[in-house]
Chain A
Amino acid sequence: MKKRLAVWKFASCDGCQLSLLACEDEFLALAEAVDIAYFLEASSRIKNGPYDLSLVEGSITTAHDLQRIQEVRRVSKKLMTIGACATSGGIQALRDFADIKEFTSAVYARPEYIETLATSTPISAHVSVDYELRGCPVNKRQLLQVVSALINDLPPHVASHPVCVECKLRGNVCVTVAQGTPCLGPITHAGCGALCPSFARGCYGCFGPADSHNVEALTRLLADQLSELEITRIFSTFNSGAPAFREQHDKLVRLRVLGKQGS
């Protein structure tokens, strides 16, 4: 019998679900291989759970979602988060650094209609997660490989080394060494196939911290290339909720405040 797949959305831009739809030819093969039982972005036809594999996009930002994720976990045999929002809170976790009331009153004409939590948290902060797939958005090749492994009851392989390995496998010349371009590649989790450095740009850290990283050493290197403010910002983008990036961001902010007080 075919495995049953569900795709869930929480606070997110839908880009990771779109990566699944963007598989096109392979998406048809996926529809053959599994029973797509719940995937509102693709079909309004819903089949009830339980589901063999749930892919979860988005972070938890509302009281309602706090309850809904518990229900998703209850009906899922295996649960895999897809993308930066579900895995580390996403760009919307920038609210964690600020006052949410100020944000809602600046953005919405009638802020009293907005019911939201003060934080944006990853799925793993609320339920147990079996697998996490990084990226903003996820890489479709990696997504298909992992889904293929899981529906065939094999352990998925997701390399946790830094982007530098993917650069070298492609034969890229290091943009930091040969161009002096700031690059988060040495501390960023692989998976994108070194997309930005392959086009002579530095890595922006879309896949969050690699399993082993030396953020402090990279920060010292970035200090030759970027301003203090720019370095603080580069650690507070799509993965600002990932502990290694958040700690460095907070530390840099503290140092800046101290520096200003001293001067």
Chain B
Amino acid sequence: MSEDISAELVLPRERCGELLELVVKKGYRLIGPKLEQGAIVFGPLRGVDDLPEGWTDEQSPGRYRAVRRSDASLFGYAAGPRSLRRFFQLPDVELVVLRRGQDGPRLDYGSGDTRPIALIGARGCDLRALAIQDQVLARGAYPDPRYVARRANTLVIAVQCTEPSGSCFCTSMGAGPRAELGFDLALTEVVDAERHHFVVEVGSERGRELVAELALALAAPRLSSEARERVAGAAARMGRRFEEAAVHDALLANLEHPEWDRLGERCLSCTNCTLVCPTCFCTTSEDRIDLTGDVVERHVRHDSCFSEEFSHLHGGSARASIRSRYRQWLTHKFATWYDQFGSSGCVGCGRCITSCPVGIDVTQEISVIGGEPCKLNP
């Protein structure tokens, strides 16, 4: 193969299995898309046969349906309801176990499975979300050692997005559909009646080693440009667009907008949006004691700012109304995240829109609350 890291290669569909087997042989756990419970979600993969071949999705506010495609695409779908968060910041993990012993108390820190993860089929939005979580959980003043350990040596085989859903808006957030950074390999699926290929971009030395072992051929320039056109086509089909740079000031200038009251009436406070969001990172801790009183476990689990307990201080919840909780979430995600972490907290994956049972659309709400500077599809 060429020594030029920027040269694109071609992986025929029938050799996809080989690529995944090679990754497993190198000691990685595969996390990728699979059809489960009527949705295409990230989960542990055994191999290429677990991929959602011939499936896609229909998404709109409050509604998700997995549906058959007319072709045999392996990655022909948009962001599903399970983000990558749970594989790096576990939903419920034992932080420490305290045991009463003969010679005083003993502390054991749980480690969990820290074999490196290979992400298969991560999109541009997924990779941006991981970068945001890294900023919060690995690079802040108080890095989370469990997150850092699980993130170490993650191998990323991204798949460029060619199928945005009706809820997607990554172009507004500058997070896609093309993944430009943060992958070892990035595939673009090109499938039609005659062919089924993946155009392979190499993003790292580790990626280069993988394709060298597979001895992949160079992609014909025409195939490469076709792949690029497909991703560009996805950008053009994005359902909505707004001026993201205006959102910070526009939201913070409208903290008493009457729309917040209407949101307080519509929002179920069910927590779905926060728990499907790939960048939400909030947790709480719980102590569990056994019957003998000799063993106490401290667990850390995902929590949500939509739960009333989340802001419980002395005397009660600081955000007792649903209105105040919704406002806190939206303004943090889209505005004060900048002040805290230097970027937006949103990647435009649309998960919160699809997964809201009552169909609240954050882009619509931003355009109403932020007014003219934030209007949709200017």
Contact = CB atoms under 8 A, between A and B. Distances in A.
Q: By DSSP majority rule, is chain A's interface helix, strand, loop, or mixed? A: helix
Given A149-B289, A151-B291, A168-B276, A162 B271 contact: yes
A165 B66 contact: no
B54 interface: no
B272 A168 contact: yes
Given A154-B289, A171-B91, A214-B267, A164 B272 contact: yes
Contacts of A168: 91, 271-272, 275-276, 302
Contact of B268 (A26, A30, A33, A186): A186
A115 interface: no
Interface in A150-203: 151-152, 154, 157, 159-162, 164-165, 168-174, 176-180, 183, 185-187, 200
Given A144-B291, A152-B293, A168-B275, A173 B37 contact: yes
Given A29-B291, A161-B307, A169-B302, A178 B65 contact: yes
Contacts of A30: 291
B36 A173 contact: yes
A118 interface: no
B162 interface: no
Interface residues of B, number: 47
A70 interface: no
Most buried by A among B62, B91, B286, B291: B291
Contacts of A157: 286-288
B21 interface: no
B63 interface: yes
Contacts of B237: none
A202 to B, nearest CB: 11
A216 B265 contact: yes
A108 B240 CA distance: 65
A219 to B, nearest CB: 11
A67 to B, nearest CB: 33
Nearest to A198: B37
Q: By DSSP majority rule, is chain B's interface helix, strand, loop, or mixed? A: mixed
A32 B39 CA distance: 46
Interface stretch (B176-184, B245-253, B350-358): B350-358
Given A161-B307, A162-B271, A178 B64 contact: yes
A147 B291 CA distance: 8
B165 interface: no
B290 to A, nearest CB: 6
A148 interface: yes
A249 interface: no
B304 interface: yes
Given A145-B288, A159-B309, A217-B267, A178 B66 contact: yes
A177 B82 contact: no
A170 B41 CA distance: 13
A213 interface: yes
Contacts of B289: 148-149, 152, 154
Contact of A164 (B92, B266, B271, B286): B271
Contacts of A164: 270-272, 275
Contact of B265 (A162, A177, A187, A217): A217
Interface of B: 36-39, 41, 43, 62-66, 81-82, 86, 91-92, 265-272, 275-276, 286-293, 301-304, 307-309, 322, 354-358
Given A171-B43, A178-B66, A217-B265, 16 more contacts: A29-B292, A148-B291, A160-B308, A162-B307, A164-B270, A164-B271, A165-B303, A171-B86, A172-B37, A173-B37, A177-B64, A214-B267, A216-B265, A217-B267, A218-B357, A221-B357
